[in-house]
């Protein structure tokens, strides 16, 4: 009950536990609906030596052989990789990263939720940098029909 009391104490006056609960249910309903449609067998080859990993899901964008490039965000960090993202039949987010369509996937990361994917960083704790560029996160949010905004401190 301490969790409920803490959340209730920190909620804005315009929100209630009931409305928060309903929002959570609606989000879960969207997630479950998305996991049911357009599911097929996805095969991804990773690493050296090659390991083939197979799961049921749907590509949100890209494929094992093609993806979208991370956009430069003028922060001095160059990301030469292409990214493709899938959603598993259980709603998990799978990110495949590769240099180009001629080479096998270099990395495959699996996240429990969109929020976990969006908040992934290069290191533990608050000192890490975002693992994925804004355009990659935005493309996933759009495919999942999840709101996503970039807050600017300008």
For 140, other C-beta atoms within 10 Å of its C-beta total 24
Same-domain check for residues 19 and 87: no
Tokens representing 59 are 């590509």
Same-domain check for residues 24 and 94: no
**pLDDT for the residue numbered 36:** 47
Containing domain of residue 23, as a range?
Answer: 1-36
Same-domain check for residues 20 and 55: no
Same-domain check for residues 11 and 60: no
Same-domain check for residues 47 and 29: no
Same-domain check for residues 14 and 82: no
Length reported for the chain: 154
Residues β-bridged to residue 55: 42
| The model scores a pTM over 0.85 | no
Would you say residue 151 lies in a domain? no
CB–CB of 131/117 below 8 Å? no
pLDDT in tens, 52-111: 999 999 999 999 888 888 887 766 666 778 899 999 999 999 999 887 655 556 789 999
| Distance (Å) of CA 35 to CA 11, 13, 20, 59, 60 | 30, 34, 23, 11, 11
Helix (H) or strand (E) holding 111: strand 107-111
**4 against 63, higher pLDDT:** 63
Same-domain check for residues 61 and 78: yes
Same-domain check for residues 86 and 108: yes
Q: What is the DSSP string of 37-64?
A: TT-EEEEEEETTTTEEEEEEEEEEE--S
How many structural domains is the chain composed of? 2
Same-domain check for residues 64 and 86: yes
Report residue 124's pLDDT band, with 50, 70 and 90 as the boundaries.
confident
């Amino acid at each position: 009950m301490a969790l409920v009391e803490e959340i209730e104490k920190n909620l804005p006056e315009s929100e209630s536990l009931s409305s928060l609960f309903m929002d959570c249910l609606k989000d879960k309903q969207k997630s479950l609906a998305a996991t049911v449609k357009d599911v097929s067998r996805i095969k991804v080859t990773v690493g050296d030596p090659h390991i083939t990993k197979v799961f049921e899901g749907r590509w949100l964008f890209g494929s094992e052989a093609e993806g979208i490039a991370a956009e430069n965000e003028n922060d001095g960090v160059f990301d030469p990789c292409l990214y493709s993202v899938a959603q598993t039949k259980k709603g998990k987010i799978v990110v495949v990263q590769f240099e180009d369509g001629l080479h096998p996937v270099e990395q495959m990361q699996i996240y429990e939720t969109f929020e976990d994917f969006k908040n992934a960083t290069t290191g533990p704790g608050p000192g890490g940098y975002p693992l994925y560029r804004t355009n990659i996160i935005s493309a996933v949010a759009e495919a999942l029909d999840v709101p996503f905004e970039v807050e600017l401190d300008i």
